[in-house]
Amino acid sequence: MDVCVIGATLTRRDELLTFADEVKGFMPRNEGLALTSFGELETDQDLTKTWLEIGSWCGKSTIYLGAAAETVGAVLYSLDHHHGSEENQEGWEHFDPELVDPNDGRLNTLPSWQRTIGEAQLEATVVGLVGHSSVVARHFDQPLGLLFIDGGHGHDVAWADYEQWTPKVVRGGLLMIHDVFADPADGGRPPYEIFLAALSSGRFEAIGAEGSLRVLRAVR
Ligand code: SAH
Ligand code: MG
């Protein structure tokens, strides 16, 4: 779908990336654009086109990855229990009262996420998986061509995501990890620890970085 704006043609890609700016979330634009650009490299016809992100929130990163998935003909599963992480709860740093469900007083990002994907017209490309990451992982056997880890950042949750999901990435596939900070002053340890674990496992090599985003490729 092309839209003409003051003489310039806004492509479908531009449109999606502009729309991502309006979506609530925790994905700086430069890092989001890196998600899109690395995803767009995945055109290898032999590699599985099943992708998965852990940590949907309101769909901001989902748009960046979804734009690439649409381009390369992949399907992106977007996994979240939609009740937020610890730091999103009332009294914590990243609490947003607008996201509380008045019926039960719980945080619920599913309606926002679903609206985001609908407005972006990405419903043929993006599929929501609502549940706890470790429960879904135990019942998800599909090999992944791309895995983006941006779920819970606590020690146990981040390590469970690493241990349960990274083995599903096929050789040649991409592993992306968000909120990787080498300096503890900049952020929590677990995403950095699992990034180091991926490197030292010998299964992955680092191929790119943008802000706190790290991109690795499975070499075996
Ligand atoms: N990628 C998002 C931000 C994700 S925030 C963006 O671009 O804005 C982290 C998300 O992980 C939260 O929505 C939280 O609900 C989810 N999460 C945390 N622990 C989880 C778990 N164990 N299983 C599923 N989702 C989880
Ligand atoms: Mg993040």
List the CATH number of the domain containing 30.
3.40.50.150
Residue 190: DSSP 8-state? H
- Give the whole-angstrom CA distance, residue 36 versus residue 33: 5
Residue 50: phi, psi to the nearest 5?
Answer: -100, 120
Q: Compute how many other C-beta atoms are within 10 angstroms of the C-beta atom of residue 218.
A: 21
Q: CA-CA distance, 199 to 183, in Å (whole number)? A: 18
Residue 85 in domain: yes
Number of domains in the chain: 1
- Residue pair 79/157 in contact (Cβ under 8 Å)? The answer is no
Weakest-pLDDT range from 5-9, 64-68, 77-81: 5-9
- Which of the four pLDDT bands, split at 50, 70 and 90, describes residue 85? very high
Asked if residue 5 belongs to a domain, the reply is no
- Over residues 192-217, the pLDDT tens digits come to 999 999 999 999 999 999 999 999 99
What share of the chain in percent tops pLDDT 90? 95
Whether residue 179 has its Cβ less than 6 Å from ligand 1: no
8 A C-beta contact, residue 99 and residue 76: no
- Evaluate: CB of 83 within 6 angstroms of ligand 1: yes
Q: Is residue 126 part of a domain?
A: yes
Expressed in angstroms and rounded, the spacing between residue 41 Cα and the centre of ligand 2 is: 22
Q: Distance between CA atoms of 166 and 137, rounded to whole angstroms?
A: 10
pLDDT of residue 2: 56
What's the rounded mean pLDDT across residues 53-81? 98
157 lines ligand 1 (CB under 6 A): yes
Residue 3 lies in a domain: no
Is residue 8 one of the residues assigned to a domain? no
Whether 11 is in a domain gets the answer no
Residue 1 binned pLDDT confidence (cut-offs 50, 70, 90): low
Q: Please check whether residue 7 lies inside any domain of the structure.
A: no
| 124 CB-near residues (< 8 Å, 6+ apart) | none
pLDDT digit string (tens) for 103-150? 999 999 999 999 999 999 999 999 999 999 999 999 999 999 999 999
Residue 49: other Cβ atoms inside 10 A = 17
Residue range of the domain that includes 77: 16-218
Amino acid at 52: L
Q: Are 55 and 150 in contact (CB under 8 A)?
A: yes
User: Does some domain include residue 135?
Assistant: yes
Spell out the residues 6+ positions from residue 187 whose beta carbon is closer than 8 angstroms to its own.
179, 181, 212
Ligand 1 nearest-atom number relative to CA 109: 13
Q: Does 32 contact ligand 1 (Cβ within 6 A)?
A: no
Task: Pick the range with the lowest mean pLDDT from 3-7, 36-40, 123-127, 163-167.
Answer: 3-7
Q: Which of 19, 36, 52, 85 to mutate to test the pocket of ligand 1 (most atoms within 8 A of CB)?
A: 85
CA distances from 145 to 31, 77, 80, 162 (A): 20, 12, 19, 16
Q: Which two tokens stand for residue 76?
A: 């992106």
State mean pLDDT over 34-58.
97
* pLDDT for position 10: 86
Q: Could you tell me the pTM of the whole model?
A: 0.96
- For residue 3, the model assigns a pLDDT of 55
